[in-house]
Amino acid sequence: MSVEIRPISRADVAAVVSMVHELAEYERAPRECHLTEAQLEAALFADRPALFGHVALIDGEPVGMALWFLNFSTWRGVHGVYLEDLYVRPTARGTGIGRALLATLAAVCAERGYERLDWWVLHWNPAREFYHSIEAVPMDEWVPYRLTGPALRSLAEQAPTAKSEDLQSSMRGDAG
């Protein structure tokens, strides 16, 4: 058995999108997943990527993936990694692929001076036992919040008037 973990290439996009949809099915939310190949390719391969990822292969076949992006700790003054999706296909579970993907992300953090690797996991997910085994610590003191749909639009309508150009430049990081 030949195992390879490497950054996602354009040739991997279709397989990774398929795995994202498989993950949504596993997490009991298939109707909520709308990711397309075009969206993933745009996010991964833009001039300034919004998303990064690694794919795991056994004997050349994609069996797992990790999709992640940078976060930033204002208290520590350094970047970290937020793991958006970690998925190993059922046929490859128990082979060490999940550990290899997380170890690869830990190596990215170590090489770049990032101080943490964060992710969320559903309460019922049996992978929690594995996460405990690698000494990941649940952040029980934090409560996640999210705004979407009408609530997000309603709050946006309350924003002070700003020029569209100002918002765009702040997103590029060139506001001054």
Question: What torsion do the CA atoms of 103, 106, 112, 113 make, to the nearest 10 degrees?
Answer: -150
Torsion of CA 38, 56, 48, 71, to 10 degrees: 120
User: What string of pLDDT tens digits covers the 176 residues of the chain?
Assistant: 899 999 999 999 999 999 999 999 999 999 999 999 999 999 999 999 999 999 999 999 999 999 999 999 999 999 999 999 999 999 999 999 999 999 999 999 999 999 999 999 999 999 999 999 999 999 999 999 999 999 999 999 999 976 666 666 666 665 44
If DSSP codes are grouped into helix, strand and coil, which group holds residue 57? strand
Is there a domain that residue 166 lies in? Answer: no
Question: Could you tell me if residue 140 is inside a domain?
Answer: yes
Give the residue numbers spanning the domain of 84: 3-146
pTM above 0.85, yes or no: yes
Instruction: Provide CB contacts within 8 A for 144, sequence distance 6+.
Output: 120
Backbone angles phi, psi at 82, to 5 degrees: -105, 120
Residue 175 lies in a domain: no
Residue 95: inside a domain = yes
Strand partners, 69: 82
Q: How many domains does the chain have?
A: 1
**CATH number of the domain where residue 7 is located:** 3.40.630.30
H or E stretch at 4: strand 3-7
Torsions phi, psi for 3 (to 5 deg): -110, 135
Assess contact for 7 and 57: CB atoms under 8 A.
no
